[in-house]
Amino acid sequence: MKNTIPLIAFIAFSIAAALTVISYLDLINVDPAVLLVIRWIAVVTLLMFAITKKSLTTWILVSMVVGAEIGNDFPDIAINLRVLSQIFLKLIKTIIAPLLFGTLVVGIAGHSDLKQVGRMGWKSLLYFEVVTTIALFVGLAAINISKAGVGINMPVSTTEELPQVAKQSTTDIILHIFPENIAKSVADGEVLQIVVFSVLFGVALAMISAKHRAPVLRFAEGLSEVMFKFTNIIMYFAPVGVGAAIAYTVGHMGLGILVNLFHLLATLYVALLFFLLCVLLPIALLIRVPVKQFIQAIAEPVSIAFATTSSEAALPRAMEAMVRIGVPQKIVAFVMPTGYSFNLDGTTLYLSLASVFVAQAAGIELSFGQQLLMVFTLMLTSKGVAGVPRASLVILLGTAASFGLPVEPIFIILGIDELMDMARTSVNVIGNCLATVVVAKWEGEFAKEPIESESIREVEV
């Protein structure tokens, strides 16, 4: 019986969706009450399927369907569910400062002997910055071409309460980058200022003696681990938050909003596919990476990343895979973790795309210069958050606040963030795996023949 539930759920949902679409198109006349019953039978079967799977990803996907159905059938109730999505967003915001601080300090000061890793470090960072910058511009181009956010009419009662884009001089913008009081920056959620402070703190920590560095570094590592777990706890509330968000969206705006949601989803997937084929693949061919062997090696870690929407979950298998295809352990141990903070290709592409989508949905016209400034900001703020499911939501909220953009359109994105996160997390893992090969080739240490399976757990990262 357990094995038949997914099939029953799929059939019931397909029938309900088909009949609903046919009815909306006036191709046949179906009693609305009958359609309502059929749709809720499909929802119940999907819930049974989620119970058997016991997967957070499955629950989030199913909650999207449940939320859309509640918003469509009971709009008054759906609007009142908004508080649940607001709770989820507030919980997400609480992790911004400690997570950025912990991950950046560990990433920079974790290799205390800066001279020893200097050459490998600057090569890695140079590659990371070039590729992620290209990813940002690909996302920017994609959303400006598709204009997925244009045409979304935000509720008048909501937009009247939202702040407008503040006009600032160049001097104000530059000064705003640097914190004068880190406690104030944390309280105000100024992501860029937190990043600047964390980078300088990490560099200073790396320059002091091991005796004084060790306890602070252990604290930063412990803080990072705690925030990873804290985020995991928050993610258990994600199905409720996501379901409530899409219920509110559909209840307030109608099912027509889903057209824009899937328009945005298609824009992201096409942009990521373009990035893989037109950026990462040419890089692999240019440095003569054995592409077939590379794809076979990354298949498992990428599958893990796609299913869990967490780059961190795929890290151990990805590191082992790169060692097996010929990347030295010392390079894997340095480049892969560093890349998880500085080389999130899929996430950076998504952030530039989503930020402009927020402005489009709010009816705010951003000039090309403003978009370039946003890209420059994202070049910094997108660094440091690694391995955390939906962590890009944190950066997106911070970017919106920094540029005076309303946060209401982010509720729209939240409805399909799970589907978007699967794709961008997979691209993150692919990009970091390729980065280890690039640095190994650059160092002239990539083995021509695959290395037998080795345990990488003994390597000090």
| Domain ranges, ordered by start, for the chain | 5-79, 91-442
Higher local confidence (pLDDT), 242 or 215: 215
- Report the C-alpha gap between 261 and 249 in whole angstroms: 11
Which of 12-26, 147-161, 203-217, 275-289 reaches the highest mean pLDDT?
A: 275-289
Which of 47-61, 71-85, 170-184, 244-258 reaches the highest mean pLDDT?
A: 71-85
- Going by pLDDT thresholds of 50, 70 and 90, the confidence category of residue 204 is confident
Q: Examine the pLDDT at 156 and tell me if it is beyond 60.
A: no
CATH hierarchy code of domain 91-442? 1.10.3860.10
The DSSP-derived string for 304-368 is HHHHHT-HHHHHHHHHHHHHHTT--HHHHHHHHHHHHHH--HHHHHHHHHHHHHHHHHTTPPPPH
205, 216 contact by CB (below 8 A): yes
* Average pLDDT value for residue range 415-437: 86
- Going by pLDDT thresholds of 50, 70 and 90, the confidence category of residue 230 is confident
- Going by pLDDT thresholds of 50, 70 and 90, the confidence category of residue 164 is very low
- Going by pLDDT thresholds of 50, 70 and 90, the confidence category of residue 76 is confident
- Going by pLDDT thresholds of 50, 70 and 90, the confidence category of residue 239 is confident
pLDDT of residue 169: 52
* Average pLDDT value for residue range 159-171: 46
Non-local CB neighbours of 413 within 8 Å, separated by 6+ positions:
264, 354, 357, 358, 396, 420
* Average pLDDT value for residue range 247-270: 76
pLDDT of residue 141: 93
- Report the C-alpha gap between 91 and 28 in whole angstroms: 46
* Average pLDDT value for residue range 17-21: 56
Nearest to 343 by CA among 430, 439, 428: 428
Q: Examine the pLDDT at 19 and tell me if it is beyond 60.
A: no
> How many Cβ atoms sit within 10 Å of the Cβ of residue 274?
14
Higher local confidence (pLDDT), 413 or 430: 430
